[in-house]
Amino acid sequence: MTTSPLLEAKALSKHFGGLQAVQGVDMTVAAGEVVGLIGPNGAGKTTLFNMLAGSMAPSAGQLFLEGEDCTGANAHQMAQRGLARTFQITSVFAGLSVWDNVFAATYRHQHANWLWAFFQSRSYQAEQAQMQQRTEDALRSVNLLHRRHDSAQTLPYGEQRKLEIAIALACAPRLLLLDEPAAGMNPEEGVKLVQLIRGLREQGMAVLLVEHHMRVVMGVCDRVVVINSGEKIAQGTPQEVVQHPEVVRVYLGREAVHA
């Protein structure tokens, strides 16, 4: 790729006391690219993921978003710059309706303050209409529009996962970080997820996903980065990575990551 990457990590490291969780990882994600992050359990994927998302500060290394240094930026700052993420354990606004859950995520695109709202100014009303449209579109893309008045906590697990994605989409991010999005999904839902991610890629979004479901990884990733014991051991197309001797060695004999 000759285009400069959207997200670039240089020598990112994290240690907790004596434990080195991530060591000197370089990686990039470009616009319109889907990158998979795989590795055995405990390899440091989650720590790396959290550093990229801003919810954990790196001990060393640098992070660039669209060429701008945002090392050490925290979660909401990264979000303001156009990054959205989902969580490994389903995370929604439990007490709010599905609609309100997603509407809340349009936060960074709203600029009207309370005073304009008080006087129902035209710019406020226009903005509200825009946000409603965004919310509707996000819900429609995960097929949850019909549930918009239901309370988020009444949703079954699979739909809560979809709600999470809708929340992330409503942020209109340029970079989407997905943490095990296919976990707990049946094969049919997995296929829909792959279609959704492909659609996002076509729109020019950069996507990074941590995943154990190899079928999803193979099916949608343009590139795969493999982490083991905090270090990057391989990267390349899914086909290349699967045949990489180091990767094979790491996964050999262990409970194979299920497809």
Nearest approach, Cβ of residue 80 and another protein (Å): 5
Q: Is 62 exposed, middle or buried (CB count within 10 Å of its CB: 0-12, 13-18, 19+)?
A: middle
Q: Is 178 in the site for another protein (CB under 8 A)?
A: no
Q: Is 114 in the site for another protein (CB under 8 A)?
A: yes
Nearest CA among 69, 63, 67 for reference residue 51: 63
Distance CA(105)–CA(166), nearest Å, equals: 9
Q: By three-state DSSP, how is residue 208 classified?
A: strand
DSSP β-bridge partners for residue 37: 210, 225
Instruction: Tell me which residues in 29-58 interact with another protein (CB under 8 A).
Output: 53, 55
Q: Is 93 in the site for another protein (CB under 8 A)?
A: yes
Q: Compare residues 16 and 255 and give the one whose CB is closer to another protein.
A: 16
Is the Cβ–Cβ distance between 81 and 73 less than 8 Å? Answer: yes
Instruction: Tell me which residues in 187-216 interact with another protein (CB under 8 A).
Output: none
Q: Which one of 24-32, 107-115, 189-197, 199-207 is the stretch in contact with another protein (CB under 8 A)?
A: 107-115
Q: Is 167 in the site for another protein (CB under 8 A)?
A: yes
Sequence-distant (≥ 6) Cβ neighbours of residue 247 within 8 angstroms: 226, 233, 234, 241
Strand order in the sheet with 206-210: 83-85, 175-179, 206-210, 34-38, 223-228, 231-236
Q: Is 242 in the site for another protein (CB under 8 A)?
A: no
Instruction: Tell me which residues in 128-157 interact with another protein (CB under 8 A).
Output: 128
Distance CA(159)–CA(152), nearest Å, equals: 9
Q: Which one of 21-29, 39-47, 60-68, 164-172 is the stretch in contact with another protein (CB under 8 A)?
A: 164-172
| 85, 134, 161, 223: residue in contact with another protein (rule CB under 8 A) | 85
Q: Is 96 in the site for another protein (CB under 8 A)?
A: yes
Identify the helix (H) or strand (E) that includes residue 236.
strand 231-236
| 25, 43, 51, 103: residue in contact with another protein (rule CB under 8 A) | 103
Residues that bind another protein (CB under 8 A): 53, 55, 74-76, 79-80, 84-85, 87, 91-96, 100, 103-105, 107-108, 110-114, 117-118, 128, 167, 170-171
